[in-house]
Structure formats: C-alpha cells, structure tokens
Amino acid sequence: MRQIKMIICHFPISLKKIPLLFVYIILAILSLPFQLIEQLVFAGKIRKQEIDPSPVFILGHWRSGTTFLHQLLSNDKQFGYVNFYSAMFPNSFLWTERKMKPLLNKIAGVFKWKIPFFNKIEYNFDFPCEEDTALINMGSPHSAYWAYAFPQKAMNVFDHTMYFDSLNSKATKEFIRDYLYLLKKISFRHKNKRLLLKSPPNTARIKLLLQIFPDAKFIYINRSPVEIYYSHHKLWEQCLKNYALQEISQSELDNIITQTMGNVFRQYKEDKDLLSETNLCEVDYETLLKNPLFVINEIYECLGINKSTTTEMDILVQIAKARKYTPFAYDYDQEKIKWIEKNLIPH
C-alpha cells in the first residue's frame, strides 16, 4: 500500500487524472494478496540471497541508447536482468512469472499492444527493463520515476532519489534497502547469474552504487544532447498522457528536461573519476548503431569480462531486428539546437 501513501503525499491530483488515480488505487489493492503469498513463500530465501559477482551497470541519460545496449548485452546467457514482467509485477514475479508471462505475451500479441516510448514496438514481457520501473511498482518512495507520475514535483523527486548528499542519511539507507531487496529477488530468479542492470537515474548514483558494490563494472553510453533533448521530450509527452496524475505546461516540461540534462551530465562528469579504467567503459551511441558487434566486443575487452560462446550469434539476431526499427521523427528548432549546444553539451 506504499503506492497509495505516495499518492497522498504528492497531492493535488489534476481533475482530468482522477480516473487514472482510481485505476492505480485498485491495482495496488488487488496486488496485495499476490505480494503476501510471495513474502510468505520466499522471504527467507530472498534474505539469504547473495549478489556475487558484482553487477554490470549500464549508465547514460534517458534516450542515450541505453535500452538498445541493454537488449544487445542481455543476449549473453551469463547475465540476469530485470525484464518487463518483473518490473511490472515486482512484488509477485517469483511465483507468477512462469505461467503469467507467456499468457500476457500472447494477449499483447493478439491486441498488438505497443510500448509508447518507442515507435511501433510491441510489448514483450521478456524485454529487459529498468530497476526504477520495478521500484515504483514496488511502491518504493525512492524510485526516480515518481517524477513522471507527479510532474509538478519532478525536480524535487529527482533531487531526493538521484542525488544523495549523504551516503549515511536515512533516505540513502532506505534506498539501499529497497534496491538490494529488488536485486536479490532478480538474482534469485536468475539463479545467481551476474546482473546486467540499466536505469538512467543510476547515472547520477555512481557514488552510492560503489558503496553497495565496490567492484561493480560500468558502461556509459553517450549521445548527442540535441537528440537526447528531443527524444526525452517525446518520452515525457507519453508519460504525461498515459501515466501522470498531474498536468504541467510546455514551458514547465522544457524546464524539467533541460535542468535534468544539465544535472545528470554534471554529476556523471564529477563521479566518473571514482572509476578505474577496468571498471568503466564509455561508448558512443552512433558508433554502436553503425558497428554494434565491434562496440560490444570492445566492452567485453575493456571490462575484462569473458563473453559466452553463444553470445555473438544471439547478438547478431538482435541487431537484425533492431535494423528494422524506425525511430520517431522530430521537428527540430534551430534556436533550441543552438541553446542546447551552448548550454548542455558537456565540456
């Protein structure tokens, strides 16, 4: 019921969003029995679960190509990851996924459900997904994605869920508790495989992630800030339409996007020096698109990770699928491009 508590804490709700509010409340109530069953059956096993070896984290601002990179690397069978099903049902996936995921995939196929954040991509509950999506569906107050539900308080949400001033504060300890609980469940689900994790807010959490996993590996993907801005704008528009409980103006939205870009870029630039050459690999999105297999091999070599024997063929299949994808088209504004290039390109 933590979702309902978060909704109350972030009032007011826009009148047009009242029906969506009731949907959220009903879903939270209906999920309770499933959550209780999972806790009764698996609580002890989750508590004892170890996360070893340390995870590999994919970093990058929203819309930098983190999803594409995550999909490619997740074809390596040595990795476990958060998939769409476990992100949507984080409180019950340990005992419901085996039967419910195939059913949902069939339903999604019949009704041709589309993922709103990508152009004409149908839902597949096996796709890799983000930890912050799972955290918000767990009801954790420490998911950065509450910003999409309550955009009027987005910058405040980001401040309290991404930029931890103290590594020993109450909020930090609560984040670690919720995050580790989720990761232990994913590790248990994937039978102790190394975790491959991707959540853009982690780009600003390097210090905290190193506190939890001192030996973790990091991959940072870089993309043109102009492309990030327009793509992130599209993501926000879809969230405001489908998931937000509050309404904001276009100028307010633009302010959220540009402030967030500047903050995330600065935080990454400040924290990357904490990582050694063998723990950080930086890649370029355009290069990944042009020569994905070359970039993937560079990542393995840079991080000192052995590639599974079947990985290359599986990645080639994924690359072939990706080449059929047509990205969204945007109406570029030259004045906005000049402003982005002047103010948001990291130096």
Which residue do the tokens 């248990």 mark? 188
Which tens digits make up the pLDDT trace of 163-178?
987 888 898 999 999 9
pLDDT in tens, the chain (347 residues): 677 778 777 778 999 999 999 999 898 899 999 999 999 999 999 999 999 999 999 999 999 999 999 999 999 999 999 999 999 999 999 999 999 999 999 998 898 887 766 656 778 999 999 999 999 999 999 999 999 999 999 999 999 999 987 888 898 999 999 999 999 999 999 999 999 999 999 999 999 999 999 999 999 999 999 999 999 999 999 999 999 999 999 999 999 999 999 999 999 999 999 999 899 999 999 999 999 989 999 999 999 998 876 677 788 787 777 776 667 778 888 999 999 888 887 65
What is residue 197's predicted lDDT score, i.e. its pLDDT?
A: 98
Asked whether 74 and 128 are in contact (CB, 8 A), the reply is: yes
What is residue 118's predicted lDDT score, i.e. its pLDDT?
A: 63
pTM of the model: 0.94
